[in-house]
Every structure is written in structure tokens, then in C-alpha cells.
Amino acid sequence: MQPVAPAPRDPAPSRLRYRMQRWMLTPGIRTALRIGIPLMIVVGATGGLLSDQGRRDAMMLKISELRASIEERPEFMVGLMAIDGASPGLSDDIREAVPLDFPVSSFDLKLEQIRMDIAELDPVKSASVRIRPGGVLQVDVIARKPAIIWRTRDGIELLDRTGAHIDVIASRLERPELAVIAGDGADAVVPEALALIQAAAPLGDRLRGLVRVGERRWDVVLDRNQRILLPPDRPVRALERVIALSEAQDMLERDVAVVDLRLAARPTLRMTSDAVENWWRIREINGSGQ
């Protein structure tokens, strides 16, 4: 009797093996096996290393030394500050506002904060800050230009065309080429004051300045204690009318103390005390002669 040959093995995988193969072909599982498991090993090893305080301190020290070695390289060091567009006095103020101890690493410089500190100075209209090749901190400044003098109870200030404060001066004689304004709130209407000063150009050196009254209107002050009281509305046009009338009739060359234009419909003139006395004297003479 011949032995029975074993049945041939079925090459098809079992159901469990088939499911495992299909599961391994899933993209998420393949990504997890390719990236996730190595990452977990690295994280576990790093966590084990960093669990010791001594190892952590040593690693932080190495990182700090590496960073310092990069930041303190000569090509990253800033050795001086250059300021363009500022007067010597303003340059000194900028250096005081930004006290830097050179040389300093460019990584330690906060350029935007430096620019803001400089821009906050009264004489500075705008500023830009950058690091030039060669280790130079370059500061470019656009300074405000004095346009008028404002006399206040506390002193004498220089203002630009917008009314922004620039500086304090000891005497009006320091800037004799600038016109003078006075009064509370005068700094808020500097453009209007400059327009009045321009309109008063025909008066020449007779103009002494402008006084803001009640924070709503202007008095034009001339030599010989003459004043032109302007209305709150359209003061430039009112001043031009007075100047035109004066040029035609020499009104401001006579014994006029005040030209009052506050009421446009009823302008008035006020004579000087000497002129009034002379008028009464002449009237008395004429009366006694009758």
C-alpha cells in the first residue's frame, strides 16, 4: 500500500495575515512607521538626556556660548553712531536719548525702538535708523525748521509751521528774523498767524507781532503802540483791507491808536490820547474865538 501524498499548501494568506498586510498599506500607518517611530525614539532619548539637571545646564551653556561666538563676530559688531541732518545741539540730544555703549552687537540693537526714541524729541520731524557696512549705526534725521516765536508766561519757544514745539530760547534776539506771537492757544493756529504775517508784509518793520485774544481772534501789534483788532472770521482779508486803506489815505501814519475791525459792519478808529487832547484844545480855541 503506497503512502498518501500530503495535500499541496494553499499559497493564499490567511485572513488575519491578509488584514495585517492591508493595514500596513494604509498611508497613515506607513507614515507613522517611517516618521513617527523614529521621532518617538529621538524624543525619548532627548527626554532621557534632559531629565538630568546637570545635562540641561551644560547644554544651555553650550548653546549660549555658540550664540555669543556668532553674535560677537567682528562683522556683526557696531562701533559708532553717525548722525546726518541734525545740528550739533540736536546730535547731542540724540546721543543722550539713545545711550549706547559701543562696541555692541547688531543682534542686541532694537532699531525700531531706537528710531521711536529719536522721533519723540521735539526738534525731530522724522528719523530713520539702519546699520551701515563697517559697523556704523546710521541715523538720518529730518529736523523741524523754526518758523515763528511764541512768547508765553513761562518763556520763549520756537515753533515750526505746524505749531509743533522745537526748542526754548533765552531771548527773542536769538532769532531776530522770526516774527513773534503771544497769547494762550496761539501755538494751535500758527498757520493762520503766518498768513497774517505774510499779509502784513507791506507794513515792513512796523510789525511787532500778533497777540491771540481769548483763543479766538488776533490783535496785530505795530510800533507807536498801534493795534489792529481783527475779527475771528476771515482775519487775513480784514487785515488786507486795513493795509489797503492805509496805503491810500495814510491812516496808520496818523495819530490812530486802535483800528477795531471786530464788527465788520461797523469798523471804528480810536485816536491817541495826545490827538484827543489836541482836538479838544482846538475845539476850545475855536469856541472861544466865536
257's grid cell: 491808536
Tens-binned pLDDT, residue by residue, of the chain (290 aa): 556 556 566 566 667 776 776 766 677 777 776 777 777 777 777 776 666 676 667 667 766 666 666 656 777 788 899 999 998 889 999 999 998 888 888 888 899 999 999 999 999 999 999 999 888 999 999 999 999 999 999 999 999 999 999 989 999 999 999 999 999 999 999 999 999 999 999 999 999 999 999 999 999 999 988 999 999 999 999 999 999 988 888 888 888 889 999 987 788 888 766 655 554 555 555 555 55
What does the pLDDT read at residue 87? 87
What does the pLDDT read at residue 59? 65
What does the pLDDT read at residue 159? 96
Place of cell 531771548: 171
What does the pLDDT read at residue 197? 96
What does the pLDDT read at residue 60? 73
What does the pLDDT read at residue 160? 95
pTM (2 d.p.): 0.67
Q: Are strands 165-169 and 217-222 parallel, antiparallel or unpaired?
A: unpaired
What does the pLDDT read at residue 119? 93
What does the pLDDT read at residue 275? 53
Q: Residue 158 forms beta bridges with which residues?
A: 149, 167
What does the pLDDT read at residue 229? 95
What does the pLDDT read at residue 222? 94
Please state the CATH superfamily assignment of the domain spanning residues 185-280 in this structure. Answer: Cell division protein FtsQ/DivIB (3.40.50.11690)
What does the pLDDT read at residue 12? 60
- Please state the domain extents for the chain: 74-143, 185-280
CATH class, domain 74-143, is: alpha beta
3-state secondary structure of 263: coil
DSSP secondary structure string, 65-83? HHHHHHHTSGGGEE-EEEE
Question: Distance between CA atoms of 199 and 186, rounded to whole angstroms?
Answer: 18
Task: List the 156-159 sheet strands across, edge first.
Answer: 165-169, 156-159, 148-151, 180-182, 207-213, 217-222, 227-229, 256-260, 268-271
What does the pLDDT read at residue 287? 57
What does the pLDDT read at residue 268? 86
